[in-house]
Amino acid sequence: MTNTTLKLLAQQLQLSISTVSRALKDHPDISAKTKAKVNALAQSMDYEPNAYAIQLRMQSSKIFGVIVPAISNLFYDSFIAAVEEESRRNGYALMILQSSHNPENELNNLKIFRQNRVSGVFACLSTSAENLDVYHKMNEREIPVVFFDIVPKDNTFTKVRMADERCGVIAAENIIKRNAKKVLAIFGDPGLSISQNRKISFQNFMHNFSPKTHVNYINANSSNEAEEIFKKHYSKAVKFDTVFCMTDEILIGVMKAIQALQIKVPAEVGVISISNGFIPNLYHPVISYVETSGFQLGKLAFVQMMANMQTGKTVNELTVDATFIEGGSM
Amino acid sequence: MTNTTLKLLAQQLQLSISTVSRALKDHPDISAKTKAKVNALAQSMDYEPNAYAIQLRMQSSKIFGVIVPAISNLFYDSFIAAVEEESRRNGYALMILQSSHNPENELNNLKIFRQNRVSGVFACLSTSAENLDVYHKMNEREIPVVFFDIVPKDNTFTKVRMADERCGVIAAENIIKRNAKKVLAIFGDPGLSISQNRKISFQNFMHNFSPKTHVNYINANSSNEAEEIFKKHYSKAVKFDTVFCMTDEILIGVMKAIQALQIKVPAEVGVISISNGFIPNLYHPVISYVETSGFQLGKLAFVQMMANMQTGKTVNELTVDATFIEGGSM
DNA sequence: TAAATAATAACAAACGTTTGCGATAAATTT
DNA sequence: AAATTTATCGCAAACGTTTGTTATTATTTA
């Protein structure tokens, strides 16, 4: 069965296509009687306007593109959920593609976006250092790009991200408050600016406010690695009394080690992490964490997108602030 | 800056639009020399075909719609990841919308899909008993619908789902193997067919093979509820020695109770669950589980979609089999 | 009553493609 | 050399909308 079109409706009603079109949009030129007839038939033939024809005519698509490294991810999926929610409220649909941390995929995805004339794109870089030509071209074409999470250094772009520095500081504050003597701090991929920001701010704060607290700084790229690191360091003579986990991945590894070693939290070891809250709530006691919400970031990104579309080109870097969520692990 | 079009290329090259179009698609009617010129200019002006114009002309959209209750979900996000992966390999893009378990949203989403003339839709019902008219209409319009996870009873539709009965049986088998005397079995929302299938098969198997094993059947709708249930039942005189968790949610609650009560797993209580594996791997020992992979389900759904599109209408119900993954909790 | 105005609806072009068909010139065959 | 085939390319219609302009009435005004 073929789709209902304006032409079909027009034929049935012995009206012109334009009249039908205007009637459907409640145009003042059309009489109430005609409008009623048109609407009735449209309803019964369940007419749905062809979005493609509309876009072709209107030159605007009501679709946003979203690129994430992976959809199946605690952080990104909540980001997507937020953007989807807002988009739908504003009459937009989403086209979501994943880069799998591969710049080549990212390029292909952008091509698809351009072919579909998306009204804007939310992009998370697949790697930190990357060729940004495509994005510059998008800007030239007046397709707003809002970068999130992993963003380029280039300041000609609009970016939103978590307040990573604040995260580091807040974590450090709470560690100091606990009166920690020796802490194990595990950070993520040192190649990412996120890691850098969090680490440096953490380090500075620690150093200034509690210079005598001994901190071991280590990097881990997987939860397994974090688990091993924890076990290795915990076997030393002078045990650390606090562990700081920069990511959920790291926290997972650490918690496995803690359970395996049957360590009491927070009595023997205090645990603090940076997270959106899902993982910390899986344990008893609930792990205290500095909240970085993908959901909030999504909301912010959307606001920026809309601002960009209206004001032409507001270039900006906005951050969503971090807050400390008290669990029972400190 | 305006987008590059065939017309623009044609003007620059002093050729007709049709020639440019054919050159770009390597049509035999066009000379090698012309093709070269056209391709060169297209490249330098980085021409991208307008997907909307193409769809309008071709009456087919290369886009699939996906409806999930929530994107931010351990199961659905892996389903989406799989579908996205396959779609991209086959030149399709995805339009993902979430119903938030609300039939009204589901309807709106379907409307958006129709407006965008998607080539097919992957749908997860927001509630079990639901008006299927819209879906019937899609079938009439020859838009293939593949239901997944939460599927309608109606057999005129194509459905893919986990082998829920097998899940129940496998879980029961392993509980019997453990020689359990008293078990606490916590199931999810009794309104969903998933819960029913898993519960009935579990119950039957238990009853036939180990009629003397005492089983408490309880429903829980959230992890908090599961935690309370566990605590309440564990305080009784004759303690259960094994707990079965139908969902990740339930497992999470149970594990919080276990940690709070400092119960030894598997010595004091054996734990088994149904999961895609993420949550079970967060604990030490790793929880044994019957695997239900959203990723695999996604792959299967895609295969079905393609089959449907080619053969016209293959109506079928396919299931992805379940396997037992040994952790250390039994 | 004639003229002007308001109300209603139709015409037609445009958005960017694809593609059947026709046109032209060159190359080949008789 | 005339006739036919082959190689290239252009014309024009169609896909389903939106919208500026024009045409037709009916209504009001002078």
Give the CATH number of the domain where residue A119 resides. 3.40.50.2300
Residue at B105 is within a domain: yes
Instruction: Identify the residues numbered 5 to 44 in chain A whose C-beta atom is closer than 7 Å to any atom of strand D.
Output: 5-7, 17-18, 21-22, 24-25
Q: Kindly state whether residues A67 and A16 are assigned to the same domain.
A: no
Give yes or no for residue A310 having a pLDDT over 80. Answer: yes
Average pLDDT over residues A37-49: 94
The shortest CB-CB distance from A114 to any of B48, B80, B116 is to B48
Number of H helices, E strands in chain B: 12, 12
Read out DSSP for A99-141? -TT-HHHHHHHHHHHHHTT-SEEEE--SSSS---HHHHHHHHT
Strand D and A56 CB separated by under 7 Å:
yes
Q: Kindly state whether residues B23 and B168 are assigned to the same domain.
A: no
Residue at A327 is within a domain: no
Strand D and A2 CB separated by under 7 Å:
yes
Q: Kindly state whether residues A263 and A299 are assigned to the same domain.
A: no
Q: Is A137 in Cβ contact with B46 (below 8 Å)?
A: yes
Q: Kindly state whether residues A215 and A303 are assigned to the same domain.
A: no
One-letter identity of residue B37: K
Provide the domain count of chain B.
3
Q: Kindly state whether residues A24 and A123 are assigned to the same domain.
A: no
Write out chain A residues lying below 8 Å of B283, CB-based: 255-256, 259
d(CA B16, CA B280) in angstroms, rounded, equals: 63
Write down the pLDDT at residue A61. 86
Structural domain including A40 reads 6-49
Nucleotides of C under 7 A from a protein CB: 7-21
Give yes or no for residue A1 having a pLDDT over 70. Answer: no
* Token output for A35: 């409008």
Among B residues 41-100, those touching chain A with beta carbons less than 8 Å apart: 46, 48-53, 55-56, 61, 63, 70-73, 77-78, 80-81, 84-85, 88, 93-98
Write down the pLDDT at residue A3. 86
Residue at B329 is within a domain: no
The shortest CB-CB distance from B284 to any of A105, A108, A260 is to A260
Buried-state track B275-306, b at ≥16 Cβ within 10 A, e below 16: bbbebbbbbbbbbbbbbbbbbbbbbbbbebbb
Residue at A307 is within a domain: yes
Give yes or no for residue A267 having a pLDDT over 60. Answer: yes
A228 touches B: beta carbon within 8 Å:
no
Q: Is A98 in Cβ contact with B112 (below 8 Å)?
A: no
Q: Kindly state whether residues A191 and A256 are assigned to the same domain.
A: yes
Q: Is B88 in Cβ contact with A78 (below 8 Å)?
A: no
Handedness of CA B201, B203, B204, B206 (dihedral sign): positive
Residue at A117 is within a domain: yes
Q: Extract the residue ranges of chain B whose pLDDT is less than 50.
A: none
Residue at B130 is within a domain: yes
Q: By C-alpha distance, which of B224, B147, B235 is closest to B186?
A: B224
Strand C and B51 CB separated by under 7 Å:
no
Q: Kindly state whether residues B150 and B252 are assigned to the same domain.
A: no
Q: What is the DSSP letter of B211?
A: T
Q: What is the DSSP letter of A323?
A: E
CA atoms within 13 A on the CB side of B270: 23
Nucleotides of D under 7 A from a protein CB: 7-12, 14-20
* Nearest nt to the B17 alpha carbon by C1': D10
* Nearest nt to the B3 alpha carbon by C1': C16
Write down the pLDDT at residue A193. 77
Write down the pLDDT at residue B284. 93
* 3-state SS class at B296: helix
Q: Is B72 in Cβ contact with A77 (below 8 Å)?
A: yes
Strand ranges inside chain A, DSSP E: 63-68, 93-98, 120-123, 145-148, 158-162, 182-187, 214-219, 242-245, 270-275, 288-291, 317-320, 323-325
The shortest CB-CB distance from A94 to any of B49, B96, B142 is to B96
The CA–C1' separation of B28 and C30, in angstroms, is 28
User: For the ranges A41-45, A194-198, B289-293, which has the lowest average pLDDT?
Assistant: A194-198
Write out chain A residues lying below 8 Å of B271, CB-based: none
Write down the pLDDT at residue B128. 67
Average pLDDT over residues A260-278: 95
Q: Is B96 in Cβ contact with A88 (below 8 Å)?
A: no
Q: By C-alpha distance, which of B121, B60, B126, B140 is closest to B301?
A: B121
Q: Select the residue from A71, A84, A293 to test the B interface by mutation, using most B Cβ atoms within 10 A.
A: A71
Residue at A71 is within a domain: yes
Q: Kindly state whether residues B177 and B282 are assigned to the same domain.
A: yes
Please, what is the angle between helix A17-24 and helix A32-44, to 10°? Answer: 90
Q: Kindly state whether residues B171 and B225 are assigned to the same domain.
A: yes
B260 touches A: beta carbon within 8 Å:
yes
Q: Kindly state whether residues A101 and A205 are assigned to the same domain.
A: no
Q: Kindly state whether residues B80 and B147 are assigned to the same domain.
A: yes
Write down the pLDDT at residue A128. 67
Q: Select the residue from A83, A282, A286 to test the B interface by mutation, using most B Cβ atoms within 10 A.
A: A282
Residue at A54 is within a domain: no
Which residue's CA lies closest to nucleotide C19 at its C1' atom? B18
Among A residues 274-303, those touching chain B with beta carbons less than 8 Å apart: 279, 282-284, 295
Q: Kindly state whether residues B195 and B276 are assigned to the same domain.
A: yes
A129 touches B: beta carbon within 8 Å:
no
Write out chain A residues lying below 8 Å of B117, CB-based: 3, 50-52
A7 touches B: beta carbon within 8 Å:
no
Instruction: Identify the residues numbered 55 to 114 in chain A whose C-beta atom is closer than 7 Å to any atom of strand C.
Output: 56-57, 59
Distance from CA of B74 to the nearest CA of A (A): 7
The CA–C1' separation of B33 and D21, in angstroms, is 45
User: For the ranges A19-33, A79-93, A129-143, which has the lowest average pLDDT?
Assistant: A129-143
Give the model confidence (pLDDT) of B144-163 as tens digits: 999 998 888 888 899 999 89
